[in-house]
């Protein structure tokens, strides 16, 4: 379907107002509902799901250390918007179709408030999953200033719930960051980038079958979702009027499967100042930024001296990455900046030479190394089934770090695709990546490196919660587990993989 580009203005999700806020705590109530929203002015309104009547959901703005309680509730209709595959774990016909649970991605949260995939609940909490513990979640926000996001995490239907619209920003700020004098206020804008496909009537399209259909099933999960349309903040190919000055953008890849390699058609530098888990040590000027699903980049773009010019944000990453479907004349376009607004006052914001101190976690501090491999299996319908450690979601827990322990995880990817691996609860640092002999590994289970240790890219040198585990490489990450104990998950953030068993529980023990 043809939709014109750059005819709708970029929406900025509203900042959510708390129901109550005092020096002890802040309380929010957030309802999930179904409603209609204009996604593009040439398209009839689209039925979506959202939080507080907004897709993307409203933005949370909290302070480091602020205690926040959120009552997430489900007020969605009883029928799902999108086709459910009832053969997928957790989505069998013994549970209601419309289930939700919310995870704040990247947050350090007690286990019972983390949005465990089986802690789902239905409308009015009438039915709840086996791990449901409480209606009001608690977030301590004992974290650095950073760009987090919240989204649905229900076992077996996360890809559908997020695709329907259940995602939004959760920003943590603090005094230190304010002292840096970064562009702020109306010059600081979050951008959630997603791909979708629409039917002529404006409704969301999600495939009922993979390219090689499964005749036994009415609906089958697909191994990758590739949309033909790019949305930013819920609008298709929007534009943003900007002043000739610096802006701060929080880039988030909120897509199901699509990777983005972000560039500006002007060829100008993008100044990256932060990663998933907060500010970097110092800004870096880059011409491209790779974002796999769930990765964030905090950036400054300078439109100074560009009066009257248009700058287009473009993308050239194939999906699956790196050797999947290349972008076309549509999916290579993200959005447009029009430098049309007069400068309303002198731009006194800064790109400071130094941002924060970022001590490297010492490899010697690690008390445990875990070797974790991913491989491709086939299910009884002949479909690809990506597993971690060859284990299913329901198999006994094998990753059980001790509270306070530092560990190194070797993510061994013997598959041809890059998988964005995400751990809940903690932020990690990337140590390196290294090619290995895949054949030898598959036969003998031995890692034999065939290349040198490759340090993380400049754009990854900071706190991360999602890392691209590239094909035929061992990616090493290091992290300290805590400050909470209990049940969490680690998984691939390609939502079609996560839903089809590329996810495992892990437990932090005393
Ligand atoms: Cu963004 Cu386990 O999720
Ligand atoms: Cu994956």
492 lines ligand 1 (CB under 6 A): no
Confidence of residue 375 (pLDDT cuts 50, 70, 90): confident
- Nearest atom in ligand 1 to 490's CA: 2
Q: Which residues contact 366 (CB under 8 A, 6 or more apart)?
A: 406, 407, 408, 478
- Nearest atom in ligand 1 to 503's CA: 2
Distance CA 302, CA 291 (A): 20
CB 471 within 8 A of CB 375: no
Distance CA 99, CA 119 (A): 10
* Rounded percentage of the chain residues whose pLDDT exceeds 70: 100
Give the domain ranges of the chain.
20-174, 185-339, 363-508
User: In this predicted model, what pLDDT tens digit does every residue of 248-290 receive, in sequence order?
Assistant: 999 999 999 999 999 999 999 999 999 999 999 999 999 999 9
424 lines ligand 1 (CB under 6 A): yes
pLDDT at 368 over 90: yes
- Nearest atom in ligand 1 to 151's CA: 1
Pairing of strands 384-388, 368-378: antiparallel
Distance CA 155, CA 500 (A): 9
Residue of the CA atom closest to atom 1 of ligand 1: 105
Length of the chain measured in residues: 510
196 lines ligand 1 (CB under 6 A): no
Fold of 363-508: Immunoglobulin-like (2.60.40)
| 137 C-alpha to ligand 1 centroid (Å) | 16
User: In this predicted model, what pLDDT tens digit does every residue of 112-164 receive, in sequence order?
Assistant: 999 999 999 999 999 999 999 999 999 999 999 999 999 999 999 999 999 99
- Nearest atom in ligand 1 to 491's CA: 2
pLDDT at 376 over 90: no
Cα separations in angstroms, 219 against 36, 406, 491: 25, 43, 24
497 lines ligand 1 (CB under 6 A): no
| 218 C-alpha to ligand 1 centroid (Å) | 28
Q: Which two tokens stand for residue 275?
A: 């990663």
Domains 20-174 and 185-339 in one fold? yes
| 77 C-alpha to ligand 1 centroid (Å) | 24
102 lines ligand 1 (CB under 6 A): no
DSSP single-letter state for residue 422: E
| CATH architecture entry for 20-174 | Sandwich (2.60)
105 lines ligand 1 (CB under 6 A): yes
461 lines ligand 1 (CB under 6 A): no
| 246 C-alpha to ligand 2 centroid (Å) | 36
Q: Which residues contact 126 (CB under 8 A, 6 or more apart)?
A: none
Q: Print burial letters for 78-92: b (CB count within 10 Å at least 16), e (below 16).
A: eebbbebbebbbbbe
Residue of the CA atom closest to atom 3 of ligand 1: 105
> What superfamily does domain 185-339 belong to in CATH?
Cupredoxins -  blue copper proteins (2.60.40.420)
Confidence of residue 240 (pLDDT cuts 50, 70, 90): very high
Looking at the CA of 415, name the nearest ligand: 2
């Amino acid at each position: 379907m043809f939709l014109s580009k750059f005819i709708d203005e970029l929406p900025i999700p509203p900042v959510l107002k708390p129901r109550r806020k005092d020096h002890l705590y802040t309380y929010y109530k957030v309802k999930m509902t179904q409603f209609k929203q204009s996604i593009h002015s040439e398209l009839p309104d689209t039925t979506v799901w959202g939080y507080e009547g907004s897709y993307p959901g409203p933005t949370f703005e909290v302070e480091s250390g602020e205690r926040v309680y959120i009552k997430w509730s489900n007020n969605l209709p009883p029928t799902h918007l999108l086709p459910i595959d009832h053969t997928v774990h957790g989505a069998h016909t013994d549970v209601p179709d419309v289930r939700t649970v919310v995870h704040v991605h990247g947050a350090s949260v007690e286990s019972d408030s983390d949005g465990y995939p089986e802690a789902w609940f239905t409308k009015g909490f009438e039915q709840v999953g086996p791990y449901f513990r409480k209606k009001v979640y608690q977030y301590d926000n004992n974290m650095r200033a950073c760009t987090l996001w919240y989204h649905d995490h229900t076992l077996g239907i996360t890809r559908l719930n997020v695709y329907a619209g259940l995602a939004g920003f959760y920003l943590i700020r603090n005094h230190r960051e304010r002292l840096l004098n970064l562009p702020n206020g109306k010059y600081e804008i979050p951008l959630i980038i997603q791909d979708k496909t629409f039917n002529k009537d404006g409704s969301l399209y999600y495939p009922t079958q993979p390219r090689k259909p499964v005749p036994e099933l009415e609906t089958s999960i697909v191994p990758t979702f590739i949309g033909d349309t790019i949305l930013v903040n819920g609008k298709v190919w929007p534009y943003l009027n900007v002043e000739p000055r610096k802006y701060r953008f929080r880039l988030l890849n909120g897509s199901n499967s699509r990777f983005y390699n972000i560039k500006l058609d002007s060829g100008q530098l993008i100044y990256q100042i932060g990663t998933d888990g907060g500010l970097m040590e110092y800004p870096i000027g880059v011409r491209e930024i790779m974002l796999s699903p769930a990765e964030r980049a905090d950036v400054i773009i300078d439109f100074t001296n560009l009066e009257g010019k248009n700058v287009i944000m473009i993308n050239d990453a194939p999906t699956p990455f790196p050797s999947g479907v290349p972008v076309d004349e549509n999916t290579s376009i993200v959005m447009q900046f029009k430098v049309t607004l007069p400068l309303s006052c002198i731009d006194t914001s800064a790109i400071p030479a130094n941002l924060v101190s970022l001590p490297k976690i010492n490899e010697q501090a690690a008390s445990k190394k875990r070797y974790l491999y991913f491989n491709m299996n086939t299910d009884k319908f002949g479909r690809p089934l990506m597993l971690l450690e060859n284990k299913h979601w329901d198999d006994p827990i094998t990753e059980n770090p001790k509270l306070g322990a530092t560990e190194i995880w070797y993510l061994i990817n013997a598959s041809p695709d890059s998988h964005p691996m995400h751990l809940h609860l903690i932020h990690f640092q990337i140590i390196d990546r290294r090619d290995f002999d895949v054949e030898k590994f598959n036969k003998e289970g031995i890692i034999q490196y065939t290349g040198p240790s490759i340090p993380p890219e400049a754009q990854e040198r900071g706190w991360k919660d999602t890392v691209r585990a590239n094909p035929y490489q061992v990616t090493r990450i290091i992290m300290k587990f805590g400050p909470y104990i209990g049940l969490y998950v680690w998984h691939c953030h390609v939502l079609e993989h996560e839903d089809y068993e590329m996810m495992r529980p892990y437990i932090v023990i005393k």
